[in-house]
Amino acid sequence: MSMLAHDGTAMLGRQLLRLRNNPGLLILTQTMPISMLLFFGYVFGSALAVPGEAYRAFLVPGLLVATASGGIMAGMFQAAQDTHRGVTNRFRTLPVSRAAVPLGQAVADLVATAVGTVPFLLVGLAVGWRVEGSPLEAAGAFALLMLFRFACTWVGIHLGLLTRNEEAAGQLGGATFLLPLLSSAYIPTSGLPGWLRTVAEWNPISAVATALRDLLGNAPVPDGAAWPVAHPVAGSLLWCAVLLGVFVPLAVRQYAHGER
């Protein structure tokens, strides 16, 4: 375990150095959710039945979760890039704990996400979003968001180690933008036709988005929703446990075995 801690810390250090060497990258990843908040909040929001301010308060937690699901793309791209450039193989020949490389990547991503969320939250406050829940609930919401990001990153790392190709990972990663579209990230699912609503509500993004809105006091839990959305906190925790339970062992195994 101490080997994992030592090597994991070294790998975390590597990823944090990369961020420090390229601070522009961190800022760039945040321009997307901020511009989406402004476009959706003011352009699309003006066409919705709900008042603009209420929709923006609904949208901020949704975009937080949608951005967190981008961990799939980020994890995949980074793992594929390292593999493609031979860095992964280099680490494989070192006497380094097999879990340390993916773990360091996932934890570094978490740090970057936590820091990167701050400007988005400031813009959210500026457009009328408020934390209505207790500080404890707000802390819970943030912890849940980070847990979900962590789980998504592991999904991405596994896929990235499988594809091994930067360009393929970039293409495939683009497709993950579609995931929040079929969820309650941007719209309430109650308006969707029956079967589509079921699909959207079983999307993990819906459970986490609903949990955040509930904990932050931005919107109530919808009536008659599927189980993960009707019990959003338990549903979110379960989803994260399932994703981590499946993809952490897969990613570590894939890292350890390589192309042999």
Partner 1 sequence: MTSTYAVLSEGLEKRFGQVHALRGLDLAVAEGTVCGVLGPNGAGKTTAVGLLTTLLRPDAGSARVAGHDLVREAAAVRGRIAVTGQDTSIDGDLTGRQNLRLFGRLHRVRGPAGRTAELLDRFGLTEAADRPASTWSGGMRRRLDLAASLVRRPDVLFLDEPTTGLDPVSRTLIWDVVRGLTAEGTTVLLTTQYLEEADQLADDIALVDRGRVTHTGSPAQLKSLVGAHAEVVVPEADVLAEAAAVLDRLTGAQPSFDHERNAVAAVSKDPTLTIPLLVRALDTAGVPLLDVSLRPPTLDDVFLRLTETAPEPTGTTDEKERAA
- Residues at the interface with partner 1 (CB under 8 A): 6-7, 10, 13-14, 17-18, 21-22, 85-87, 89-96, 258-260
Which of 103, 105, 97 minimizes the C-alpha distance to 256?
Answer: 97
Q: Are 4 and 95 contacting, i.e. CB atoms less than 8 angstroms apart?
A: no
Q: What residue has token string 């990547």?
A: 105
Distance CA 117, CA 32 (A): 12
Closer to partner 1 by Cβ: residue 46 or 93? 93
The count of other CB atoms within 10 Å of the CB of residue 200 is 22
Cβ proximity of 205 and 65 under 8 Å: yes
Q: Which two tokens stand for residue 131?
A: 């934390």
Q: How far is the CB of 166 from partner 1 (least distance, A)?
A: 12
CB under 8 Å to 119, separation ≥6 — which residues?
27, 30, 34
Of residues 13 and 51, the one with the C-beta less far from partner 1: 13
Measure the CA–CA gap between 172 and 11, rounded to whole angstroms. Answer: 25
Q: CB–CB of 80/165 below 8 Å?
A: yes
Say which residue the tokens 């020949």 belong to: 93
